[in-house]
C-alpha cells in the first residue's frame, strides 16, 4: 500500500484539501466573454461581407447584449478579486506572457468599441433618440462611414476574446485538466456557438435563423469533435492527465459533464436544430436556451474540475 | 547568484519545526502555512520505506507564477527568489492556479503570499528561519553557483531529486536521497 | 446521587480580568541586539528586544531568547547558541511556545468553586480572597490531620516554589508523576547496576557513537532536542542505528536494522543478545574483568536464552538477532543501548531496564566516548532560610515498605493513600497540583477521580484550564514561562552550565508566577521566615554571585558554561573507578535487588496478549506536541490538530474501516473513549496493535481548540501493571476493539 500525505496539518483556506480559489465569478465571466465574442464575431463578419441588411438581428439587435455582458462579466471579475482596492494595477502594465494581462487589455478595448458599435444603431432602436451633444452626432457619422474598418477591428478582437478565455486556463500547466492546447479553440467555438444561439433566439427573420442555425450546427459538431479529442488526448497522456480524464469517466463530474453539457447542451439542441431545418416546428427558444445553458455549465465544470486536479498528492 | 535549498531526507524526522519557525518569523496568520511536511510510505509491513520532506515554494527558475501575473506583483529578485509585492497584487488568484506545488495562498489581507526564502534574513547573511531552526540540521541553503556554499557542499556525492519535474518549472529545492 | 465534586465543564464566566496584552516591560532588563542583527519581521524593519529564557514545554529545558516587538508582545522564540541542550535550535514545541503566551483560553483569574442555582461552578475571585481561603483551609487541615496530609503533585518549574512552600508548612508529601509513570524503572535499574541513575537529560554520547540501539525509544517522534540533533550527527558520521519497535517509527526508517518485534517481548530479545555476546565472547573482556561483578552468574543465567529461544517469543529471526548483536559488539565501546525514557510498560520494567544496563555493561559503554558520558552539573547554593520543619511522616512512609527501591516518591501510591476505603496507614486529605494534568497523566482514571472526590481540599496551579482544574476547589492562574522568573536551570551535561529564565513581558491578565504565589501564600500562612527575600531576583542574584556570575550578566548572555571540576566525562584508561554500588563495581548480578527480595538477574515473563478482535494499544509521542499540555496551543494545533489511530491495512479491510474514518475505541474492561479518533490506515504498524499519540481527547470545554479532538489513550489504560520493585505503572497491557458507530455513553461527571 502506498501512502502520500501531509503530516504537518496544512489547511490553507481555499487551497486545502482541494484547490478552490476561483468560484462562480470566473465561469460566469468566461461564459459572458464567450457569448460577447460570438455575437461580435458574427456582427462584424456580416458587416464586412456587406450582408447587414439580410441579418438585422445579428448586426444590430443582438449586439446590444455585448456591452451588457462584458460589463457584468467585468463586475464578476472585480468581485472575484481579493485585493480589490488595487485592481487598477492591471492597467499600469502590459505583460505579454500573462493571458490575464491580455484579457484585461482586450476587454479594455472591446468594451468601449462595442458600446460605440451599439451607439451607431441607437437611432434605429430607440425612435426619437437624440444625442445630447453636437460632437456626438459628428462622431456617429464618422463611425458609420467607417463601419467596415471598425468591423475588422472587432472581428480580430472577438477572436482574441473568444480564444483567450481558453488559453487563460490552458496556460496553467499546474492544473492537468486545463493544460491542453485544445482548450483555446474549444472555448472559442463554444463562445461562437452561444453567440449564434443568442442571435437565433432574438431573431425575427426566418432567413436569418436558417443561416445561423446552419452555422450553429456546424459549430456544435466541431465542439463535439474537440471534446472527444480532448478526452482521448488525456487518456493517452501521463498519469495526472489520465486522472483528469477519469474525472469525467466515473469521477465526481461524470454526470454533470455528460448529461448537462454534452447531452442537454450539445447533442439535444443539435438534433432539435437539424429537425427544425428539416421542417419540424420547434419553438426556437428551446435549442437556444439549451446551448446557452450548456455553455455556462461547461465553464462551471471546467473551472471546478480543473482546480480539483493537481500534480502532487 | 542562484539561491537554492537542499534537504536531506535521510536526517529529516518530520518534526515540523520548520513550519512553526516560519510562522513566527514571518507573522504567518494562524490557520495558514507557507511550508509543510509531507510523508510518503511504500511497501508492506514489515518491508516498509519512509520518506519525509519539508516542502515550500520552490523558487523555480522557470516560474509560471511570475509569467502569469497580470500586474507584475509576482517578480523575481536577485538570486532567483520569487516574491510578491502586496501593493501591486490584485488578488486574482492566477498565480495560485499556476503553481504545481500549491505553494501559494490568499492572505486574509487580500494579497497572495508564500515562502520568500526569508529574504529579509538572507540580506543580512542569515539562513532562512526554517533552515536555521531545524534540529537535525538537514536543511542547507545558499548560492548554487558557489561551489563552496552550504547547499553545493551538501549536494556533492549525493543522489537528489526535485518535485514534479514534469511540470517543467525547474524547481530549486533538492531532496537528498 | 450528586457527586461531591462535579467536573465543572462549562465556563459560566465572562472573560474576567483585563486582557493586558503584555505591557512594556522594564526595558533596562532587556538586552538590545548587537549591531547589524536587527531582525526584519514580515518585511517591516522592526527592532526587536530579546530576553533570555529556558523553555518549559518539556523537561529538556532548552535555553533561548524570547523576542518582543516595540509593543512588548512576544513574537518569536529562538534557541541560545551557547546552550548545550539545544545548540541554538529549538524544537517545534519550543518555537511554538509563543502560542502558550497568545492562547486566549488561558486561565485569567483565580477561581473558587461555588454553587449557583444548584449547579457547581467557578466564580472569579481576587488573589487575596483565594489566598485567604487556601490559608484558612490549610490551617484547618493542619489542626485536624496534620500538615503532612497535604500532598503536592508537581511537574516542571512551579514545583520548586510550591514544594518549598509545603515543606515550610510541614509537609514532605509530594510526588512527580514523571517518576512512577515514566522513567522510574530505568533510574532504579541503572542505580542498582552502576550506582547512579540515568538522569535528565540522558548522558548518551549519541553524536560520537558508532552504534545506537533503540529499544522502545522513538527519537524523532519524541523531540528530545539534544538527542534528535545528535542522532542526525550520528547519521552524518555513518553510525549504525538498530531500532527495535513493533512499529515502523521514524527512527526505524533511518536504521540499518529494524527489528519488528512482537510487543511485550523485549526482555527476551535483550537476554538473547546478552547470550550471544557472552557465548561468542564479543564482550569487552578487560572492561568486564576490571569493572564488573557477577559475570559468571550472568553467564549461567542466560545460557539457555539463545536466539532460537527468543525467536519463538519475539518472532525475530535468530540470524537477525545474532547479526545485530555482532554489530553492537563491533562498535563497542562506542555503542549505546538506549535506556529509553517512558519505560513503564508491563510491570517488569525494572528488570527489563536491568537487562539494558547489563548489556551496556558487557559492551563497556558506560563512561566511554560514544557510549554514556559522566555528566556534571553546576551546583548552586540554596538561599539561606531557617531550618525547615521536620514532618512526622512523609512520602517514604507511605510506600517505603512496598517499594523499597523507589528513590523518589511514587505518585500512584500517593493517590491510593488518598482513598479512605484503602485504609492507608497515612490518609492524604488535600492535594496541591501544579504543572501536571492528573486525569490524563495517571493511568486508571477511575482511581484518580475517586481520590479527588475524597479530598477535603484541592488546589490547582496551572496556566491553562486543563481537566484537573475542573475538579479543583481553588484554581490559581500561573503566567507562562515567558512572563516570569524561575530558579536557575542547572542540569548535568558534558560541561556544567546554567541558564536564566526571565520574563520577556508583563504577565497577561491576572496571572502570576509560581514564586510569587508561593511567597504570598507563605506569608498568609505565617511562614514569612522561610521566604526571607523581597523578590526572586534577589535570590537569583545572590545564587549567581556565589558561582562567579550575576543576574545582570545572565540577563545579557542567557547561558553560562563552566569547567568540569569533578573529573573527566569518560573513564580514563588505567584509572581505577569505584562505582557507587555495594561491590564498588558494575553489578551485572545486582546485590541491591537481591537484598530487597527481587530477582538479581532479569528473566523473561509472558505478558497478557489481546483476545480475538482486540488490538494492543500502543501510545507514543508526536513531535508537534508535549503530552496533553500543548493540545490547545494555536501554533501547534496548526501543525497537528488531532491524533490519528494507526491501523494496519489488513486489519482495516477485515473491519471495513477506511482511511480518515472516525471510530470509537473500547478496551478490554469495557471502557469506551468519550470522543472518536480519526483512522490512518498505514503499513507502518503491526496487525496485532494500533498506535496513537498521547495527550488528546480533552474533555474540558474551556480548551476551545483541544476539546473533543481525538480520543484520550489515558481513558483506555485501566489495566495497570504495577512494577513490584518501585511502583511504576505499566500501561501497555491494554487492548482495544473498534466501534464504528457512536456508542451510547454516560455523560462524563
Report the CATH number that the domain containing residue A194 is assigned in CATH. Answer: 1.20.1630.10
The domain containing residue A89 runs over which residues? Answer: 25-306
How crowded is residue C285: how many other Cβ atoms within 10 Å of its Cβ?
A: 11
Question: Is residue A131 pLDDT above 90, yes or no?
Answer: no
CB contact under 8 A, B30 and C683: no
With cut-offs at 50, 70 and 90, classify the pLDDT of residue C14.
Answer: very low
The structure's pTM equals 0.91
Question: Is residue C266 pLDDT above 60, yes or no?
Answer: yes
Among candidate residues C296, C297, C301, C291, the one with its CA nearest the CA of residue C364: C291
Question: Is residue C38 pLDDT above 60, yes or no?
Answer: no
- Measured between CB atoms, which of A1, A5, A9 is closest to C641? A9
CB contact under 8 A, A173 and B166: no
- Residue A174 Cα, gap to closest chain B Cα (Å): 4
Report the CATH number that the domain containing residue C706 is assigned in CATH. Answer: 2.40.40.20
- Summarize pLDDT for C531-540 with one digit per residue, the tens: 999 999 999 9
Mean of the pLDDT values across residues C279-293?
A: 91
Q: Are residues C625 and C590 in the same domain?
A: no
CB contact under 8 A, C682 and A3: yes
Q: Which residues from B are below 8 Å from C36, CB to CB?
A: 124
Q: Which domains occur in chain B, in start order? A: 3-176 (3.30.70.20)
pLDDT of residue C2: 35
CB contact under 8 A, C624 and A3: no
Mean of the pLDDT values across residues C381-396?
A: 93
pLDDT of residue B88: 93
CB contact under 8 A, A171 and B69: no
With cut-offs at 50, 70 and 90, classify the pLDDT of residue C4.
Answer: low
A79 is written with which cell numbers?
A: 468581485
CB contact under 8 A, A9 and C649: no
Mean of the pLDDT values across residues C213-233?
A: 94
Q: Does A78 touch chain B (CB under 8 A)?
A: no
Position A313 in a domain:
no
pLDDT of residue C286: 87
Count of pairs with CB atoms under 8 A, one residue in A, one in C: 18
With cut-offs at 50, 70 and 90, classify the pLDDT of residue C15.
Answer: very low
| Torsional sign, CA C633, C634, C638, C639 | negative
Q: Are residues C285 and C191 in the same domain?
A: yes
Position A244 in a domain:
yes
Position C382 in a domain:
no
Chain A residues with at least one Cβ partner in C under 8 Å: 1, 3, 5, 7-9, 11
CB contact under 8 A, A95 and B69: yes
Q: Are residues C716 and C619 in the same domain?
A: yes
Mean of the pLDDT values across residues C107-119?
A: 91
- Summarize pLDDT for A174-188 with one digit per residue, the tens: 899 998 999 999 999
- Residue A14 Cα, gap to closest chain C Cα (Å): 16
Q: Are residues C585 and C704 in the same domain?
A: no
- Residue C639 Cα, gap to closest chain A Cα (Å): 5
Position C251 in a domain:
yes
- Decide: helix, strand or coil at residue C281: coil
Question: Is residue C528 pLDDT above 50, yes or no?
Answer: yes
The domain containing residue C657 runs over which residues? Answer: 615-739
Question: Is residue C241 pLDDT above 50, yes or no?
Answer: yes
Q: Does C636 touch chain A (CB under 8 A)?
A: no
Mean pLDDT of chain C: 90
- Summarize pLDDT for A41-64 with one digit per residue, the tens: 999 999 898 888 888 878 888 888
Position A191 in a domain:
yes
With cut-offs at 50, 70 and 90, classify the pLDDT of residue C328.
Answer: very high
- Summarize pLDDT for B47-65 with one digit per residue, the tens: 999 999 999 999 999 999 9
Q: Are residues C734 and C652 in the same domain?
A: yes
Q: Are residues C258 and C202 in the same domain?
A: yes
Position A205 in a domain:
yes
With cut-offs at 50, 70 and 90, classify the pLDDT of residue A292.
Answer: very high
pLDDT of residue A60: 82
- Residue C680 Cα, gap to closest chain A Cα (Å): 10
Mean of the pLDDT values across residues C645-663?
A: 96
With cut-offs at 50, 70 and 90, classify the pLDDT of residue C9.
Answer: low
With cut-offs at 50, 70 and 90, classify the pLDDT of residue A208.
Answer: confident
Among candidate residues B79, B81, B52, the one with its CA nearest the CA of residue B149: B79
How far apart are alpha carbons C592 and C354 in whole angstroms?
A: 12
CB contact under 8 A, B44 and A1: yes
Q: Which residue of B has its CA nearest to C688?
A: B45
- Summarize pLDDT for B9-35 with one digit per residue, the tens: 999 999 999 999 999 999 999 999 999
Question: Is residue A266 pLDDT above 60, yes or no?
Answer: yes
Contacts of A among chains (3+ CB pairs under 8 A) = B, C
- Residue B71 Cα, gap to closest chain A Cα (Å): 5
Q: Which residues lie below 8 Å from residue A138, measured CB to CB, with a gap of 6+?
A: none
With cut-offs at 50, 70 and 90, classify the pLDDT of residue C747.
Answer: low
- Summarize pLDDT for C419-478 with one digit per residue, the tens: 999 999 999 999 999 999 999 999 999 999 999 999 999 999 999 999 999 999 999 999
With cut-offs at 50, 70 and 90, classify the pLDDT of residue C573.
Answer: confident
Cβ atoms of C383 and C533 within 8 Å: the answer is yes
Q: Tell me whether 0.85 is exceeded by the ipTM.
A: yes
Q: Are residues C581 and C669 in the same domain?
A: no
With cut-offs at 50, 70 and 90, classify the pLDDT of residue A17.
Answer: confident
Q: Which residue of C has its CA nearest to A1?
A: C683
Q: Are residues C676 and C591 in the same domain?
A: no
Q: Are residues C245 and C315 in the same domain?
A: yes
CB contact under 8 A, B31 and A13: yes
Q: Which residue of B has its CA nearest to A77?
A: B92
CB contact under 8 A, C90 and B31: no
Q: Does C687 touch chain B (CB under 8 A)?
A: yes
- Residue B47 Cα, gap to closest chain A Cα (Å): 11
Q: Are residues C582 and C655 in the same domain?
A: no
Q: Are residues C588 and C735 in the same domain?
A: no
Q: Are residues C634 and C712 in the same domain?
A: yes
Segment 659-688 of chain C within 8 Å of chain A by CB: 680-683
pLDDT of residue A126: 79
Segment 41-100 of chain B within 8 Å of chain A by CB: 41-42, 44, 52, 64, 67-73, 86-94, 96-100
With cut-offs at 50, 70 and 90, classify the pLDDT of residue C21.
Answer: very low
Position C68 in a domain:
no
Report the CATH number that the domain containing residue C339 is assigned in CATH. Answer: 3.40.228.10
pLDDT of residue C47: 62
Mean of the pLDDT values across residues C325-351?
A: 95
Quick one: three-class SS letters along C567-592? Answer: CCCCCCCCCCCCCCCCCCCEECCCHH
Position A19 in a domain:
no
Q: Which residue of A has its CA nearest to B96?
A: A21
pLDDT of residue C36: 30
CB contact under 8 A, A82 and B163: no
Position A15 in a domain:
no
Position C248 in a domain:
yes
Position A10 in a domain:
no
Segment 95-154 of chain B within 8 Å of chain A by CB: 96-102, 104-106, 109-112
- Residue A18 Cα, gap to closest chain C Cα (Å): 16
Q: For a pLDDT cut of 90, what percent of chain C falls above it?
A: 87
Nearest-5° Cα angle at B108, B103 to B109: 110
CB contact under 8 A, A9 and C639: yes
Report the C-alpha dihedral over residues B119, B120, B123, B125, rounded to 10 degrees.
-90
pLDDT of residue C748: 52
CB contact under 8 A, A9 and C681: no
Q: Label residues C91-127 b or e (16+ Cβ within 10 Å = b).
A: bbbbbbbbbbbbbebbbbbbbbbeeeeeebbbbbbeb
Mean of the pLDDT values across residues C567-579?
A: 85
- Tell me the sheet residues that pair with C733: none
- Residue B172 Cα, gap to closest chain C Cα (Å): 23
- Number of structural domains chain A divides into: 1
Mean pLDDT of chain A: 90
Position A263 in a domain:
yes
- Number of structural domains chain C divides into: 2
Position C339 in a domain:
yes
Among candidate residues C284, C425, C267, the one with its CA nearest the CA of residue C355: C267
The answer for C595, left when phi > 0, alpha when psi is -120 to 50, beta otherwise, is alpha
- Residue B1 Cα, gap to closest chain C Cα (Å): 22
Count of pairs with CB atoms under 8 A, one residue in B, one in C: 131
Amino acid at each position: 500500500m502506498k501512502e502520500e500525505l501531509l503530516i504537518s496539518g496544512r489547511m490553507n483556506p481555499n487551497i486545502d484539501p482541494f484547490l478552490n480559489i476561483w468560484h462562480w465569478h470566473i465561469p460566469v465571466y468566461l461564459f459572458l466573454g464567450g457569448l460577447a465574442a460570438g455575437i461580435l464575431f458574427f456582427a462584424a463578419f456580416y458587416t464586412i461581407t456587406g450582408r447587414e441588411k439580410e441579418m438585422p438581428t445579428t448586426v444590430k439587435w443582438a449586439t446590444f447584449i455585448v456591452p451588457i455582458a462584458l460589463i457584468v462579466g467585468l463586475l464578476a471579475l472585480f468581485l472575484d478579486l481579493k485585493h480589490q482596492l488595487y485592481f487598477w494595477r492591471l492597467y499600469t502594465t502590459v505583460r505579454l506572457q500573462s493571458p490575464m494581462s491580455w484579457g484585461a487589455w482586450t476587454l479594455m478595448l472591446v468594451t468601449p468599441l462595442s458600446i460605440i458599435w451599439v451607439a451607431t444603431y441607437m437611432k434605429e432602436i430607440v425612435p426619437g433618440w437624440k444625442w445630447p451633444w453636437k460632437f456626438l452626432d459628428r462622431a456617429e457619422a464618422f463611425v458609420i462611414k467607417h463601419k467596415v474598418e471598425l468591423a475588422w477591428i472587432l472581428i480580430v478582437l472577438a477572436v482574441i476574446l473568444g480564444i483567450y478565455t481558453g488559453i487563460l486556463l490552458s496556460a496553467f500547466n499546474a492544473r492537468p485538466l486545463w493544460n491542453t492546447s485544445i482548450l483555446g479553440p474549444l472555448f472559442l467555438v463554444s463562445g461562437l456557438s452561444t453567440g449564434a444561439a443568442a442571435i437565433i433566439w432574438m431573431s425575427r427573420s426566418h432567413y436569418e435563423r436558417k443561416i445561423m442555425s446552419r452555422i450553429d450546427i456546424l459549430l456544435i459538431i466541431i465542439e463535439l469533435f474537440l471534446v472527444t479529442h480532448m478526452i482521448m488526448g488525456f487518456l493517452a497522456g501521463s498519469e495526472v492527465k489520465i486522472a483528469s480524464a477519469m474525472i469525467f469517466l466515473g469521477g465526481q463530474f461524470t454526470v454533470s459533464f455528460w448529461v448537462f453539457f454534452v447531452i442537454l447542451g450539445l447533442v439535444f439542441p443539435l438534433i432539435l436544430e437539424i429537425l427544425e431545418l428539416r421542417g419540424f416546428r420547434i419553438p426556437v427558444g428551446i435549442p437556444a436556451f439549451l446551448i446557452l445553458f450548456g455553455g455556462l455549465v461547461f465553464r462551471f465544470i471546467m473551472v471546478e474540475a480543473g482546480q480539483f486536479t493537481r500534480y502532487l498528492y | 547568484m542562484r539561491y537554492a535549498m537542499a534537504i536531506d531526507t535521510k536526517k529529516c524526522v518530520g518534526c515540523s519545526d520548520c513550519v512553526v519557525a516560519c510562522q513566527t518569523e514571518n507573522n504567518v496568520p494562524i490557520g495558514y502555512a507557507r511550508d509543510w511536511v509531507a510523508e510518503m510510505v511504500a511497501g508492506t509491513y514489515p518491508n516498509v520505506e519512509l520518506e519525509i520532506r519539508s516542502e515550500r515554494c520552490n523558487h523555480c527558475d522557470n516560474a509560471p507564477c511570475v509569467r502569469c501575473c497580470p500586474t507584475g506583483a509576482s517578480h523575481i529578485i536577485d538570486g532567483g527568489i520569487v516574491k510578491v509585492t502586496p501593493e501591486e497584487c490584485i488578488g486574482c488568484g492566477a498565480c495560485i492556479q499556476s503553481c504545481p506545488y500549491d505553494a501559494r495562498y490568499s492572505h486574509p489581507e487580500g494579497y497572495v503570499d508564500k515562502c520568500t526564502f526569508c529574504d529579509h534574513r538572507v540580506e543580512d547573511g542569515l539562513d532562512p528561519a526554517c533552515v536555521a531552526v531545524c534540529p537535525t540540521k538537514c536543511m542547507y541553503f545558499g548560492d548554487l553557483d558557489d561551489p563552496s556554499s552550504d547547499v553545493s557542499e551538501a549536494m556533492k556525492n549525493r543522489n537528489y531529486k526535485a518535485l514534479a519535474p514534469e511540470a517543467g518549472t525547474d524547481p530549486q529545492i533538492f531532496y537528498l536521497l | 446521587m450528586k457527586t461531591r465534586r462535579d467536573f465543572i465543564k462549562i465556563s459560566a464566566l465572562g472573560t474576567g480580568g483585563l486582557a493586558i496584552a503584555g505591557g512594556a516591560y522594564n526595558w533596562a532588563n532587556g538586552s538590545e541586539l548587537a549591531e547589524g542583527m536587527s531582525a526584519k519581521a514580515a518585511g517591516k524593519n522592526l527592532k526587536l528586544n530579546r530576553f533570555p529564557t529556558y523553555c518549559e514545554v518539556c523537561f529538556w529545558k532548552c535555553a533561548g531568547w524570547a523576542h518582543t516587538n516595540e509593543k512588548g508582545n512576544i513574537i518569536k522564540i529562538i534557541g541560545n547558541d551557547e546552550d548545550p541542550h539545544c545548540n541554538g535550535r529549538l524544537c517545534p514545541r519550543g518555537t511554538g511556545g509563543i502560542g502558550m503566551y497568545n492562547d486566549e483560553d488561558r486561565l485569567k483569574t483565580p477561581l473558587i468553586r461555588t454553587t449557583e442555582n444548584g449547579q457547581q461552578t467557578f466564580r472569579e475571585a481576587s488573589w487575596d480572597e483565594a489566598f485567604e481561603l487556601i490559608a484558612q483551609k490549610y490551617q484547618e487541615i493542619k489542626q485536624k490531620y496534620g500538615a503532612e496530609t497535604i500532598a503536592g503533585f508537581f511537574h516542571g518549574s512551579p514545583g520548586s516554589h510550591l514544594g518549598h512552600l509545603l515543606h515550610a508548612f510541614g509537609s514532605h508529601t509530594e510526588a512527580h508523576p514523571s517518576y512512577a509513570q515514566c522513567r522510574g524503572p530505568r533510574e532504579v535499574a541503572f542505580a542498582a547496576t552502576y550506582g547512579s541513575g540515568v538522569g535528565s537529560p540522558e548522558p548518551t554520547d549519541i553524536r560520537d557513537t558508532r552504534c545506537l540501539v533503540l529499544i522502545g525509544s522513538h527519537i524523532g517522534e519524541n523531540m528530545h532536542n539534544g538527542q534528535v540533533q545528535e542522532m542526525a550527527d550520528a547519521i552524518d558520521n555513518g553510525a549504525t542505528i538498530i531500532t527495535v519497535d513493533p512499529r515502523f517509527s521514524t527512527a526505524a526508517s533511518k536504521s540499518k536494522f529494524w527489528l519488528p518485534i512482537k510487543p511485550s517481548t523485549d526482555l527476551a530479545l535483550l537476554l538473547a543478545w546478552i547470550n550471544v555476546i557472552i557465548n561468542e565472547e564479543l564482550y569487552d573482556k578487560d572492561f568486564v574483568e576490571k569493572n564488573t561483578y557477577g559475570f559468571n552468574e550472568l553467564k549461567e543465567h542466560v545460557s539457555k536464552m539463545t536466539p532460537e529461544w527468543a525467536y519463538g517469543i519475539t518472532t525475530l529471526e535468530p540470524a537477525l538477532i545474532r547479526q545485530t548483536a555482532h554489530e553492537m559488539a563491533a562498535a563497542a565501546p562506542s555503542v549505546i543501548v538506549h535506556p529509553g525514557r517512558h519505560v513503564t510498560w508491563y510491570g517488569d520494567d525494572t528488570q527489563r531496564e536491568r537487562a539494558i544496563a547489563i548489556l551496556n555493561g558487557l559492551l563497556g559503554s558506560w563512561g566511554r566516548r560514544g557510549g554514556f558520558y559522566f555528566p556534571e552539573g553546576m551546583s548552586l547554593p540554596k538561599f539561606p532560610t531557617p531550618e525547615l520543619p521536620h514532618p512526622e511522616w512523609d512520602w517514604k512512609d507511605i510506600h517505603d515498605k512496598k517499594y523499597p527501591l523507589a528513590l523518589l516518591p511514587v505518585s500512584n501510591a500517593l493517590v491510593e493513600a488518598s482513598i479512605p476505603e484503602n485504609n492507608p496507614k497515612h490518609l492524604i486529605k488535600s492535594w496541591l497540583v501544579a504543572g501536571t494534568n492528573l486525569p490524563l497523566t495517571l493511568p486508571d482514571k477511575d482511581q484518580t477521580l475517586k481520590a479527588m472526590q475524597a479530598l477535603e481540599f484541592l488546589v490547582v496551579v496551572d496556566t491553562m484550564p486543563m481537566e484537573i482544574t475542573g475538579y479543583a476547589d481553588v484554581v490559581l492562574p500561573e503566567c507562562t514561562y515567558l512572563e516570569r522568573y524561575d530558579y536557575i536551570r542547572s542540569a548535568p551535561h558534558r560541561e556544567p552550565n546554567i541558564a536564566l529564565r526571565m520574563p520577556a513581558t508583563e504577565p497577561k491578565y491576572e496571572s502570576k508566577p509560581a514564586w510569587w504565589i508561593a511567597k504570598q501564600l507563605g506569608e498568609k500562612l505565617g511562614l514569612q521566615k522561610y521566604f526571607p527575600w523581597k523578590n526572586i531576583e534577589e535570590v537569583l542574584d545572590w545564587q549567581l554571585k556565589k558561582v562567579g556570575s550575576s543576574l545582570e550578566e545572565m540577563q545579557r548572555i542567557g547561558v553560562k558554561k563552566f569547567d568540569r571540576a569533578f573529573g573527566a566525562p569518560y573513564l580514563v584508561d588505567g584509572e581505577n573507578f569505584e562505582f557507587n554500588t555495594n561491590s564498588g563495581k558494575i553489578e551485572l548480578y545486582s546485590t541491591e535487588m537481591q537484598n530487597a527480595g527481587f530477582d538479581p538477574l532479569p528473566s523473561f515473563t509472558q505478558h497478557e496478549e489481546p483476545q480475538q478482535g482486540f488490538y494492543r494499544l500502543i501510545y507514543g509521542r508526536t513531535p508537534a506536541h508535549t503530552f496533553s499540555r500543548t493540545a490547545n496551543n494555536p501554533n501547534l494545533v496548526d501543525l497537528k490538530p488531532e491524533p490519528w489511530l494507526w491501523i494496519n491495512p489488513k486489519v482495516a479491510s477485515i473491519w471495513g474501516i477506511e482511511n480518515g474514518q472516525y471510530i470509537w475505541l473500547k478496551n478490554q474492561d469495557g471502557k469506551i473513549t468519550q470522543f472518536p479518533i480519526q483512522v490512518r490506515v498505514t503499513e507502518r504498524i503491526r496487525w496485532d496493535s494500533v498506535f496513537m499519540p498521547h495527550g488528546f481527547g480533552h474533555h474540558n470545554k474551556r480548551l476551545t481548540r483541544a476539546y473533543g479532538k481525538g480520543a484520550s489513550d489515558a481513558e483506555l489504560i485501566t489495566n495497570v501493571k504495577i512494577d513490584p520493585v518501585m511502583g511504576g505503572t505499566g500501561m501497555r497491557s491494554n487492548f482495544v476493539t473498534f466501534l464504528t458507530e457512536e456508542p451510547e455513553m454516560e455523560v462524563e461527571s
